Amino acid sequence: MSSFIAGLPKAELHVHHVGSASPRIVSELAERHPGTVPSDPALLKDFFAFRDFAHFIEVYLAVVDLVRTPEDVRYLTYEIGRELAEGQAVRYAELTCTPYTSVLPDDPDRGMPIEAYTEAIEDARVAAERDFGLVLRWIYDIPGESGLPAADATLRFALDHAPEGLVAFGLGGPEIGVPRGQFVPHFAAARAAGLHSVPHAGETTGPETIWTSLRDLGAERIGHGTSAAADPALLAYLAENRIPLEVCPSSNVATRAVASLAEHPLPVFVEAGVVVTINSDDPPMFGTTLNREYEIAADLLGLDEAGVAELARAGVGASFAPDDVKVRLVGEIDGYVGAGV
C-alpha cells in the first residue's frame, strides 16, 4: 500500500506555505537569518516538538520570521513545489499563503512590498509547473490571531494585488478567542470578487464555529472540521450539500485537537456521507507527508487500493482547479490504477 500511495497522482488542498518548509529549507533560511531557529537539520526535530496548539503557533511564527525577503519567498515556494512533486506525486496543490506576515504593513522596515511578494510566488509557481509538472494555486489566508488589521490588509492584497494563481480566501490561526463572525465583511468582499471561501473551523472549537463559517462566511470547504463529528445535524448538512472537509489526521493529533489517530473522527465523516479530502497541513512540522496521511486514512477506513484511489479523486473533485486540469488529473489517477502499479 505504501508503494501504491507513493506513486498515486494526488491533489493537496490544505497545506500551508511557510508550514511546508522542510528541515532542508528551514536550515537554508536559518543560515541566511541566524537567530532563534536552529540551522542544523538534526536539531529541528526537537524544535518542532509541540506541546499544544498555542506552542505550535509560537514555533510556526518563528519560522515565518525567517522569510524576510522576496528571494526567501521565491526559494521557499519553488522548493516546496519540488518536494511536493518529486517526493509525493502531487500534481496539483492549493497552497495557503499568509502575505500579511511577510508584508508586515504596520512594520515596513521589516516587511517587503506586496508587489515583491506577489512577483516572488508567481515566479516560483510558473517555474514549478515548468520544471516539475506541478500546478500551483494560492489561497490567501487571514492570520486570525492578528485580528481585523490583518483581515483588512489580506483583503486588500487579494483584491488590489491578486496574483494570477489566486483562487480562494481563507482564515487560519487560533480559533479560541477569534470569532469567525468578525470577518463577515472580508469574506463577502472576497466572494464578490470571485474568490472561493475556505476558512479553518472546528479544529480546536466546537461545531458552532463550523456552522458560523457556513452561514456567515459562505464556506465552500471547511479546513479540518474535526468537531463536526459531535453534531449529527451538521454532518447531515455537510453531506447533503457536498461541502468537503479538509482532513489532516497527523496535524490534529500533534496540536491535540484529537487525542490519538485511533480516535480520529475520519470514519465518522465517511459513514455520514461527508466528502473528505486528505491533506497534510504543515507536514514537516508534524513529521508527516501527504503520502503518510493517505496511509493513515487507508488504515482508519480499511481501504484497499481502489478505495485509496477514490480518496485521490475526491481531492481533485473538491479542488478549485480548472476543469481541464481536473479531467487530466482524474485521467492520470485512472491510468495509474489501470496499470496495476
CA-to-CA separations, 282 to 13, 19, 180, 258, 290, in angstroms, rounded = 12, 4, 22, 16, 10
φ, ψ dihedrals at 186, nearest 5°: -70, -45
CB 59 within 8 A of CB 21: no
φ, ψ dihedrals at 254, nearest 5°: -65, -35
Residues 6+ apart with CB under 8 A from 337: 305, 306, 309
Give residue 37's Cα distance to chain centre. 22
Q: What is the C-alpha to C-alpha distance for residues 88 and 284, in angstroms, rounded to an integer?
A: 13
Q: Among candidates 276, 301, 287, 298, which has minimal Cα distance to 253?
A: 287
CB 306 within 8 A of CB 337: yes
User: To which residue does cell 452561514 refer?
Assistant: 215
C-alpha cell at 56: 505550535
**Of 28, 79, 122, 203, catalytic:** 203
Q: What is the C-alpha to C-alpha distance for residues 181 and 183, in angstroms, rounded to an integer?
A: 5
φ, ψ dihedrals at 272, nearest 5°: -80, -5
Can you list the positions of beta strands (E) in 173-287? 196-201, 222-224, 245-247, 276-278
Query: Is 12 annotated in the active site?
Result: no
φ, ψ dihedrals at 340, nearest 5°: 65, 35
Q: Among candidates 209, 204, 251, 202, which has minimal Cα distance to 223?
A: 202
Q: Cite the active site residues.
A: 203
